[in-house]
Structure 1
Amino acid sequence: MKGLVGRFEKTVAGRQEITSRIGTLDRRTRALLITVDGRTSVGDLLARALQLGLESDAVFALQQEGFIQHVGELGHVSDVQPSAGSLPSGAKQNSRFRKRSLAAARMYLMDVMVRTLGTAEHPIRTRLIEATDPGSVEQAFEAFLEMLRETATPSVVAHIEESFRDQLPIRQ
C-alpha cells in the first residue's frame, strides 16, 4: 500500500464527519477515523482497523476519500503555535499543538462513553454532563476508567486515557 507511511491526521472533511455524524461512513470505519490523531503510526492504525473487523486497506480508503492526510500536508488548518513561555517544562518539544479545553475533553469523553456504554443514559455520563469544573470532570473520568478497565483491553484504556488528557488544558 503505497503512501501509507508516517502518521495521519484528520482533514477538514474528516473532522466534519466526526462532529456532524453525517453517516457517510459505516460504524467501524467511523470508529477508525476517530482514532486518527496525528501521532499514531500507520502500523498502529492498520492494527486498529483489523481489531475493528475492517480490511487492511481501510486506512488507505480513508485517505483516498479525503478524510485523512499525512501530517503536515497542505490544507491543515487546526495548528496552534503556543508561545515559548506557555509550555510547561515537561511538555513534548513538538511544533504541532492543538487547542485544549475542558469543553473539548468533556465532549471527547461523552462521545467515548456513548460508543462504549451503548447508551446515553448512564450514571457516569450524567455525572460528566453535570460536571463544570476540572475536578468534577476528572472524577467522572476516573469512574469511567475504572469501569472501562473491567471490559476493555489495556491498550484501549491507555489510548482513551491519553486522548482525554491531551484534550485537557495544560496546567500552569
Structure 2
Amino acid sequence: MQDHAGLLEKTAAGREILGQRTGALDRRSRALLIMIDGRTSMADMVSRAGQLGLDASAVAQLIEGGLVQLAARAAGDRAEAAPPQPREHAPAATPAPAPAPAEAARKRSLAAARMYLMDVMARTFGTADHPLRARLVEATDRAAVELVFDAFQVLLNDTASPSLVAHIEASFRDLLPLG
C-alpha cells in the first residue's frame, strides 16, 4: 500500500460480490467497495474509509481479498501492474450498455425510486422500523416521495460522507420518472 497516488478499480470478483448481495462484506466495507470507480486515488479511498468509520487497512483488505486492484491506466508501464480484466468475462450483474431512449424511459418509475430508497434506508438504519421508512411506504406520489428523500438526506448528511450522499441522491434522481 505504498503507492497512494494510484487509482483503484474493482476487479471482476469485486463486481461479482456487489452483484450477489450475499452479505460477504459488512455494510461499511460494501459502501467503500461501491465508491471505487477507477477514477479515485488510493489516498482518497483511505480518506473515505475513515469517513465511513473504517481504518486505513480496509482498503488494503479489499486489495488483498482480490476485490480491488490498481487501475491499469494509473499503473502505466510498471511491471507489477496487473493486466486489465477483459470485459467479456464480467459477471452478469455488470450493467449492460446504455439502453435506447425509449427503453430508458420505461426503467424510470416512482416505484423503482421508492424501492431504491427503501433499500438504502434499510442499510442505513439497520432496521425496517424507522419512522422515515414508514413515511416512504405511505408516500404514493412523487412530491411525497421527494419530501421523504429530503428528510432522509438531512440524516445522511450527518452520518455519511458527502460523496456517498451525492451518489445516493444521483441514483435516486436517475430512477425518478422524467418530468
* TM over 0.5, shorter chain: yes
Unaligned runs of 5+ in 1: 87-99
Closer, same or farther: CA 81–112 of 1 in aligned 2, 3 Å: closer
Q: After alignment, is 69-78 or 38-47 more displaced?
A: 69-78
1:123 is displaced (CA, Å) by 2.5
Deviations 1:39-70 (A, max 9, x none): 54322210122344544232233134232343
Residue 162 (structure 1) aligned with residue 158 (structure 2) = no
Distance (whole Å) between structure 2 residues aligned to residue 125 and residue 61 of structure 1: 33
Q: Determine whether 1:74 maps to 2:85.
A: yes
* 2:31 aligned partner: 31
Q: Give the paired residue count.
A: 153
Q: Distance in 2 between matches of 1:119 and 1:4?
A: 36
TM-align CA RMSD: 3.7
Q: Does residue 159 of structure 2 align to residue 152 of structure 1?
A: yes
Q: Distance in 2 between matches of 1:3 and 1:135?
A: 47
Q: TM-score, normalised by structure 1?
A: 0.61
Shift, 1:29, TM fit: 2.4
Which protein, 1 or 2, shows the higher relative CO under an 8 Å CA cutoff with sep ≥ 6?
Answer: 2
Structure 2 gap ranges (5+): 74-83, 88-93, 102-106
* Percent of aligned positions that are identical: 44
Pick the structure with greater CA Rg: 2
The question of whether the paired residues in 1 share the 8 Å contact of 2:35 and 2:164 is answered with no
The structure-2 alpha-carbon separation of the partners of 1:122 and 1:75, relative to structure 1 and needing over 3 Å to count, comes to farther
